[in-house]
A and B are shown apart, each in its own frame.
Chain A
Amino acid sequence: MTSVLYDVPGPKARRISLIGSVIGVLVIGALLALALVTLAQQGIFEARRWAIFGQADVWSLIFDGIGATLGAAAIAAVIAFPLGLLLCLMRISEVAWIRVPTRIVLEFFRGMPVVLMMLFVLLVFATSPFIAVVAGLVLYNAAIFAEIIRAGIQSLPKGQREAGLAIGLTSFQSRLSVELPQAIRRMLPSLVAQLVVLLKDTSLGYIVAYGELLRAVQVMADFLGPQFLFPVFFVAAAIYIAINLAVSRLAIWIERHGSKKAAGGVAKAPTAGVSTVIK
């Protein structure tokens, strides 16, 4: 790989770079070893601490946690996406009394922590934690989806809408059958990236006592004893991160393949759209 930032390394630079790499690996290795030794001194690696993973109960709790996590994320995503579409159409409506209130509502939901919305639904409507988690995720992510799709519509060439209107479509028809399909296709990478954020945010359910993966860890540590906290946490975190990595990879894959198919290529998403995805 060559980079414009530096010359193709010659023999001397390669040697320095190699030495640097070796030192870097040694330093990271030393830090890891230090961490492992510290952990070993705490007795983390004693076989009996990990023996719990031989029990079916532990795994069934972990799988229940995963199921709860994925279930809440899936239901929230399925509700949030159509709601986001609707909010997007209202946000760009030509009727001011629809557009302006929608804008305020979107600003409001985007500016608030998701966990606060979850707590609000939980306490004010006295619902189950599950509904609180799903409602919090839906409200927040619908607002984000709406903004992403809006950024997609705005990135379309003006002629698309003009052509739609010119052939006699109404404003709404043009949005629905000309602009939205293109916008969604353009913004697919951002939308999938937001799905990863949604999945990650499910872990906030821990705070409102929803029985997701992290809560399962807590329950097990309370039940089995604090010495099992680390092993259980370690396994649960690894599973969580693995699921997220898989969905992220999917997003990257869609980005690569989508750019070949979409007519005119996938436009570089405007900063507003991309940045709202960052969480």
Chain B
Amino acid sequence: MDVIIESLPQYWDGFLRTLFLAVVSGIIALVAGTLLAAARVSPVAALRGFSMAYVEVVRNTPLTIAFFFAAIVLPRLGVTFEQFEVAAIIALSAYTAAFIAEAVRSGVNSVPVGQAEAARSIGMTFGQVLSLIILPQALRTVIPPLINILIALVKNSSVAGAFFVLELFGYGKQLANDHGDAVMWVLVGVAFFYLLITVPLGYIAHQVERKVAIAR
């Protein structure tokens, strides 16, 4: 147990970096994912095709391969970063965006047809229908799945620890090396800090879900 208290500064640093990775990648992925979903339902065939292909390929790509590409292959190809956090954020947001696009699209499909018809019948264009009528309602209904995707994002950010970023998992590996006699406690400490993020988020998702269920 002592090792956890001893190493609190490292844990805290790792915790903050994990949060940082998750928040930055989360925001990028939310924006990119919503745009991808909009492209998926747009009248322009090329946009639809691109969005579909992107989502299909990325959802079937293991995250480790995305990280390997961003952190090890890209630098060899001349794309270099100051810090490996950049590679981690690229991999995490590109990966998560595909899942968010799917969730938002299912939300768009769940909005009653009459909403879009009414909007069109008063003369709104596609852009107006989508941004003023459909998306605000769609996003509301997909908040619980979106939160679940963000929980997965927090957990997925642990892969960054294996690609030269010192976040929670990275510190966990390092501390486990330094304290060979207390490996178990070191990793239990890491687990605790992950649960500190994921359990409250899960609770929020559950509460929102119940509220939405009643509202409908």
Query: Chain A residues in contact with chain B, CB under 8 A?
Result: 3-7, 9, 13, 17, 20-25, 28, 38-39, 42, 44, 107-108, 110-116, 119-120, 123-124, 196, 200-204, 206-207, 214, 217, 226, 229-230, 233, 237, 240-241, 244-245, 248, 271-272, 274-276, 278-279
Q: Does B103 contact A (CB under 8 A)?
A: yes
Contacts of A9 in B (CB 8 A): 43
Do A230 and B77 touch across chains, with their CB atoms under 8 A apart? Answer: yes
Q: How far is the CB of A208 from chain B (nearest CB, A)?
A: 9
Query: Chain B residues in contact with chain A, CB under 8 A?
Result: 41, 43-47, 50, 56-57, 59-65, 68-69, 72-73, 76-78, 99, 103, 113, 116-117, 120, 125-126, 129-130, 134, 144-145, 148-149, 151-152, 155-156, 158-159, 161-162, 169, 172-173, 176, 183-184, 187, 190-191, 194-195, 198-199, 202, 205-206, 209
Beyond A4-B113, A107-B199, A111-B198, 6 additional pairs, beta carbon < 8 A: A115-B161, A200-B60, A201-B62, A278-B148, A278-B149, A279-B156
CB contact between B169 and one of A44, A113, A229, A279 (< 8 Å): that residue: A113
Do A116 and B187 touch across chains, with their CB atoms under 8 A apart? Answer: yes
CB contact between A20 and one of B46, B69, B76, B202 (< 8 Å): that residue: B46
Do B120 and A7 touch across chains, with their CB atoms under 8 A apart? Answer: yes
CB contact between A119 and one of B50, B152, B172, B198 (< 8 Å): that residue: B172
C-alpha gap A113/B161 in the complex (Å): 11
Do B162 and A115 touch across chains, with their CB atoms under 8 A apart? Answer: yes
C-alpha gap A13/B125 in the complex (Å): 12
Do A123 and B169 touch across chains, with their CB atoms under 8 A apart? Answer: no
Do A6 and B120 touch across chains, with their CB atoms under 8 A apart? Answer: yes
Contacts of A4 in B (CB 8 A): 113, 116-117, 120
Do B76 and A207 touch across chains, with their CB atoms under 8 A apart? Answer: no
Do B158 and A21 touch across chains, with their CB atoms under 8 A apart? Answer: no
State the majority secondary structure of interface residues on A.
Answer: helix
Do B144 and A119 touch across chains, with their CB atoms under 8 A apart? Answer: no
Do A275 and B148 touch across chains, with their CB atoms under 8 A apart? Answer: yes
Q: How far is the CB of B202 from chain A (nearest CB, A)?
A: 7
Do A241 and B57 touch across chains, with their CB atoms under 8 A apart? Answer: yes
C-alpha gap A182/B126 in the complex (Å): 42
C-alpha gap A4/B206 in the complex (Å): 31
Q: How far is the CB of B118 from chain A (nearest CB, A)?
A: 10
Do A272 and B209 touch across chains, with their CB atoms under 8 A apart? Answer: yes
List the 8 closest pairs (A to B, CB-CB), nearest first.
A24-B46, A203-B62, A275-B148, A113-B158, A21-B46, A244-B60, A111-B198, A203-B64
C-alpha gap A115/B158 in the complex (Å): 7
Do A203 and B65 touch across chains, with their CB atoms under 8 A apart? Answer: yes
Q: What are 17 inter-chain pairs, A to B, with CB distance below 8 A?
A: A21-B46, A25-B46, A107-B199, A107-B202, A111-B202, A113-B155, A113-B159, A115-B169, A116-B172, A196-B60, A214-B64, A241-B60, A241-B61, A245-B60, A248-B56, A275-B145, A278-B103
Known contacts A6-B129, A24-B44, A115-B162; A248 and B59 CB within 8 A of each other = yes
Do B187 and A271 touch across chains, with their CB atoms under 8 A apart? Answer: no
Q: How far is the CB of B206 from chain A (nearest CB, A)?
A: 8
C-alpha gap A44/B76 in the complex (Å): 11
Known contacts A42-B77, A233-B68, A275-B148; A116 and B50 CB within 8 A of each other = no
CB contact between A275 and one of B63, B65, B117, B144 (< 8 Å): that residue: B144
Contacts of B184 in A (CB 8 A): 120, 124
C-alpha gap A6/B169 in the complex (Å): 47
C-alpha gap A34/B15 in the complex (Å): 39
Residue of B nearest to A243 (CB): B60
C-alpha gap A120/B152 in the complex (Å): 19
Known contacts A5-B134, A275-B144; A113 and B77 CB within 8 A of each other = no
Do B50 and A17 touch across chains, with their CB atoms under 8 A apart? Answer: no
C-alpha gap A56/B117 in the complex (Å): 61
Contacts of B43 in A (CB 8 A): 3, 6, 9, 13, 17
Q: How far is the CB of A241 from chain B (nearest CB, A)?
A: 5
